[in-house]
Amino acid sequence: MGCSVTVEDVIKAFKCREPEKRIPVLRMELDYELALLYEAMVENNTHRVDQHKARLRELRQEMLMLEAL
């Protein structure tokens, strides 16, 4: 699975004037989303698992862009 970054994603990342402030918040969001994913897995709720996985992919992509700046 590759990382697809759109032009809009790059523009959004460059507009963020303080990525060093966004990264710690993003890490907390990732941790929270992982906790929710774990709960969904324990409950065997495949719909919620898929939702959390999708959100984690979005957060991961943002993190990769911010760390590249």
Domain coordinates of the chain in residue numbers?
A: 7-68
Pick from 53, 68, 48, 56: nearest CA to 27: 56
pLDDT digits (tens, 9 = 90+) for 1-50: 455 666 676 666 666 567 777 888 889 999 999 999 999 999 999 999 99
pLDDT on residue 4: 63
CA distance 42 to 57: 20
Topology of domain 7-68, CATH: Methane Monooxygenase Hydroxylase; Chain G, domain 1 (1.20.58)
Of 5, 25, 4, residue with least CA distance to 13: 5
pLDDT: which is higher, 11 or 57: 57
Beta-carbon-side half-sphere exposure of residue 2 (alpha carbons within 13 Å): 3
Higher pLDDT, 2 or 57: 57
Q: Give whole-number Cα distances, 49 to 12, 52, 59, in Å.
A: 27, 5, 15
